C-alpha cells in the first residue's frame, strides 16, 4: 500500500509551502488508494513554539486535508511525535556504532571551529579531521563514563556502493557526496537526533513508501541513502518538490506573515481556491515518457527518465496556473512528473481569479447561499457592529445582489457598505458625483424636484408594489417616464439616484439596490440627499 507522510516541525504557524506539501501528499495518497500520516518532527526543542501543532492541525482541517494517522488519531505506527521516539533513534545509532558506520565525537564546539578553520586555510574541502574516529572502544567508553558530552557522527570515510539515484520529480540525479559536510552529526549532545537520523528511522519504521519533501533536502539525499545502506534497509521512493517563492522571488519563510495559512483563513479566502492555487504553482510541465504509476522502492531508474540537466519535452495537456479544479479533479489529474524543476512564484492575482470562481461554485451549490452568508456574518458584524442590517437573511440578499462582483467573501463591505449603513454623501467620491450632475441654471432646485418625485413614487403603494413585483425593464420604464416629464437625460437621472442611495459611482443596478434597501430606507435616503444637495450649493 502506498503510504506517505507530512512531517512539519512545530516552529510556528503553517505556511503556504507547508500546506502545498501536505496537499501533494494527500493527492498522491488518494490517487493511488493509499494513506498518509501527520508526523510531528519536534526534536529541535529550542525552536519549538507552543500551540504550533494545534495550528497545523486546524489549518489542515480548514483546507479539508484529512490525514489517516497522526497525533490526534492514533494509528499502527504511533507515537507520532518524534520527541516520544528517542529510544528508537538511540537504538539505531548504537547499531551504526556497533557495525563501524558511526562513532562518538567528543570534540567541543571551540575545537570543531578551530579544526574547520585550519582545514579551510590548508585548502581542504573537509569540515572535520575525524579525530574521534580513531578513538578505541575503551577510550570512548572511558569518556562516556566520565560524563563527557558527545555527538554521534556517521562514518562516511568510505562511500557505500549503490544503484544510481532516481527522483520522482527530477529523474536521474548525479552523486552529490562532495556537497556533504565531513561525517554529519546523527545524534546531538542533548541525545536528540538530527533530521537525518530521525527521518530515515521513522520512514522505515512507519513503512513509508514515498517521501515527498522540499527541494532543499535534495543535497541531503546521499547521506540519507547512505544510512539506509549502512542499516541494510530498503529506502522509499523520493520526490523533491521545488520550493515556492514570494512575488519578489525571495524564499518563503515563517517569519513573513503574508505566507502563513492562518492569514488567508482570516482574509476569507475559499479553502478549495487556496488548494487549487497552490496545486498549480509549478504544476504544468509534462515530461515525455515519464511513468505516472508509483514506482516500487526496489526498482531501478527507468532508462527514459529525464535527467535534471536535460531540457524537458513539454506536452500541452498539463493544466495551466489558473485552471479551475475541485479537490476530486486535483486527485484525478495529479502527476508528480508534471512538476517544474524550477521554483515557482505565487501570484496573488491568480488567486483572486481562482477564488472568484470557487466562490460562485459554493454559491451555486445546494444551500450554498446560506453557507456563504453564515460564514460572512461574523466578519460583517465586526465591521458594522451597530448596524441592524447584518442578519444572515440580509447578507444573503446582499450576496445575491453582488453576484459576479465578489472576489472574496470579505469584499462585501468594500463593494456595498451602503447596504449596512447610510452612505457618506460628504465623501470625495460622492461630492464628485454630484458636481458632475449639472441639470440647469436652477440645478439645485431641479435636483430637489427629482428626488421629491422619486420619493413620492417610492412611498406610494402602487409604486412600491411595482418596484417589488415588476421586472427590471418595467420598473426602468416607470422611472424613465418620470424622467422624460422633467426633461432630464438618462445618465444624469440615474447618477443622481445612485448618488442619493449609495454615494458610490459603481455598483449593482439601481433597481436591484432599491429592492434590497426596502421602501423606508430608500425614502429616507432620498430625503437626506435633498438636504445635502442644498447645503452643498
Three-class DSSP category at 324? coil
Mean of the pLDDT values across residues 114-137?
94
Q: How many CB atoms lie within 10 A of CB 87?
A: 7
Compute the distance between CA of residue 389 and CA of residue 421 in angstroms, rounded to an integer: 8
Q: Which helix (H) or strand (E) holds 133?
A: none
Largest CA distance in the chain: 110
Compute the distance between CA of residue 95 and CA of residue 83 in angstroms, rounded to an integer: 20
pLDDT of 302: 34
Q: 428, 442, 449: which is closest to 496 by C-alpha?
A: 449
Identify whether the C-beta of residue 36 lies closer than 8 Å to the C-beta of residue 60: no
Q: What is the pLDDT of residues 242-281, one digit of tens each?
A: 999 877 777 766 555 558 999 999 999 999 999 999 999 9
User: Band of the pLDDT at 535, cuts 50, 70, 90?
Assistant: very low
Compute the distance between CA of residue 179 and CA of residue 161 in angstroms, rounded to an integer: 17
Q: Which helix (H) or strand (E) holds 525?
A: helix 519-536
pLDDT of 227: 96
Compute the distance between CA of residue 96 and CA of residue 86 in angstroms, rounded to an integer: 15
Compute the distance between CA of residue 41 and CA of residue 9 in angstroms, rounded to an integer: 5
Most confident region among 189-193, 247-251, 288-292 by mean pLDDT:
189-193
Compute the distance between CA of residue 175 and CA of residue 171 in angstroms, rounded to an integer: 13
Phi then psi for 37, rounded to 5 degrees?
-115, 145
Quote the Cα angle for 139-145-146, to 5°: 90
Compute the distance between CA of residue 408 and CA of residue 398 in angstroms, rounded to an integer: 14
Q: What is the pLDDT of residues 305-334, one digit of tens each?
A: 333 333 444 444 456 778 899 999 999 999
Mean of the pLDDT values across residues 149-168?
88
Which pTM does this prediction carry?
A: 0.86
User: Band of the pLDDT at 130, cuts 50, 70, 90?
Assistant: very high
pLDDT of 463: 77
pLDDT of 345: 86
- Residue 122: pLDDT over 80: yes
Mean of the pLDDT values across residues 284-288?
57
Cell of 467: 418596484
Average pLDDT, the chain: 87
- Residue 464: pLDDT over 90: no
Considering only 60-69, 179-188, 290-299, 427-436, which range has the smallest mean pLDDT? 290-299
Percentage helix, strand, coil, to 5, in the chain? 50, 10, 40
Rounded to the nearest angstrom, the gap between the alpha carbon of residue 216 and the centroid of all alpha carbons in its chain is 19
- Residue 202: pLDDT over 70: yes
- Residue 462: pLDDT over 90: no
pLDDT of 282: 87
pLDDT of 537: 41
Compute the distance between CA of residue 243 and CA of residue 490 in angstroms, rounded to an integer: 55
Amino acid at each position: 500500500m502506498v503510504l506517505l507522510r507530512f512531517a512539519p516541525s512545530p516552529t510556528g504557524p503553517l505556511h503556504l509551502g507547508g500546506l502545498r506539501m501536505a496537499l501533494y501528499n494527500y493527492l498522491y495518497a488518494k490517487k493511488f488508494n493509499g494513506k498518509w500520516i501527520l508526523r510531528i518532527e519536534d526534536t529541535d526543542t529550542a525552536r519549538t513554539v507552543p500551540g504550533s501543532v494545534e495550528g497545523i492541525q486546524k489549518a489542515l482541517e480548514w483546507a479539508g486535508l484529512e490525514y489517516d494517522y497522526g497525533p490526534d488519531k492514533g494509528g499502527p505506527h504511533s507515537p507520532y511525535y518524534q520527541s516520544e521516539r528517542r529510544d528508537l533513534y538511540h537504538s539505531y545509532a548504537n547499531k551504526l556504532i556497533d557495525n563501524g558506520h558511526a562513532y562518538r565525537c567528543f570534540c567541543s564546539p571551540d575545537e570543531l571551529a578551530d579544526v574547520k578553520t585550519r582545514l579551510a586555510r590548508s585548502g581542504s574541502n573537509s569540515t572535520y579531521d575525524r579525530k574521534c574516529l580513531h578513538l578505541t572502544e575503551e577510550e570512548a567508553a572511558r569518556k562516556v563514563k566520565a560524563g563527557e558530552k558527545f555527538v554521534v557522527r556517521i562514518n562516511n570515510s568510505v562511500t557505500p556502493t549503490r544503484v544510481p539515484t532516481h527522483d520522482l520529480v527530477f529523474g536521474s540525479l548525479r552523486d552529490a557526496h562532495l556537497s556533504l559536510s565531513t561525517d554529519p552529526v546523527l545524534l546531538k549532545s542533548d541525545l536528540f537526533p538530527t533530521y537525518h537520523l530521525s527521518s530515515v528511522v521513522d520512514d522505515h519504521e512507519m513503512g513509508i513508501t514515498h517521501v515527498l519533501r522540499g527541494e532543499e533536502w535534495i543535497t541531503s539525499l546521499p547521506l540519507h541513502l547512505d544510512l539506509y545502506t549502512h542499516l541494510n534497509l530498503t529506502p522509499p521512493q523520493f520526490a523533491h518538490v521545488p520550493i515556492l517563492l514570494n512575488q519578489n522571488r525571495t524564499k518563503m519563510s515563517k517569519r513573513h506573515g503574508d505566507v502563513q495559512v492562518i492569514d488567508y483563513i482570516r482574509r476569507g479566502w475559499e479553502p478549495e481556491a487556496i488548494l487549487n492555487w497552490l496545486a498549480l504553482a509549478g504544476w504544468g510541465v509534462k515530461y515525455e515518457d515519464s511513468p505516472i504509476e508509483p514506482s516500487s522502492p526496489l526498482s531501478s531508474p527507468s532508462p527514459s527518465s529525464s535527467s535534471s540537466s536535460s531540457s524537458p519535452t513539454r506536452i500541452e495537456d498539463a493544466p495551466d496556473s489558473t485552471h479551475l479544479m475541485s479537490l476530486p479533479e486535483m486527485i484525478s489529474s495529479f502527476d508528480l512528473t508534471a512538476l517544474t524543476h524550477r521554483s515557482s512564484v505565487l501570484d496573488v492575482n491568480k488567486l483572486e481569479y481562482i477564488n472568484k470562481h470557487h466562490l460562485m461554485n459554493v454559491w451555486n451549490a445546494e444551500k450554498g447561499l446560506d453557507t456563504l452568508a453564515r460564514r460572512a456574518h461574523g466578519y460583517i458584524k465586526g465591521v458594522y457592529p451597530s448596524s441592524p442590517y447584518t442578519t444572515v437573511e440580509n447578507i444573503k440578499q446582499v450576496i445575491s445582489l453582488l453576484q459576479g462582483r465578489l472576489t472574496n467573501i470579505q469584499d462585501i463591505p468594500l463593494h456595498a457598505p451602503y447596504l449596512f449603513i447610510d452612505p457618506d454623501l460628504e465623501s470625495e467620491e460622492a461630492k464628485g458625483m454630484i458636481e458632475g450632475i449639472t441639470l440647469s441654471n436652477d440645478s439645485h432646485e431641479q435636483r430637489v424636484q427629482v428626488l421629491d418625485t422619486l420619493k413620492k413614487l417610492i412611498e406610494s403603494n402602487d409604486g412600491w408594489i411595482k418596484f417589488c413585483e415588476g421586472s427590471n425593464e418595467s420598473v426602468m420604464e416607470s422611472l424613465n417616464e418620470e424622467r422624460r416629464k422633467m426633461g432630464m437625460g438618462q445618465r444624469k437621472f440615474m447618477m443622481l439616484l445612485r448618488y442619493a442611495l449609495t454615494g458610490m459611482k459603481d455598483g449593482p443596478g439601481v433597481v436591484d439596490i432599491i429592492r434590497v434597501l426596502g421602501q423606508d430606507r430608500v425614502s429616507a435616503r432620498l430625503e437626506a440627499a435633498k438636504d445635502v444637495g442644498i447645503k452643498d450649493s
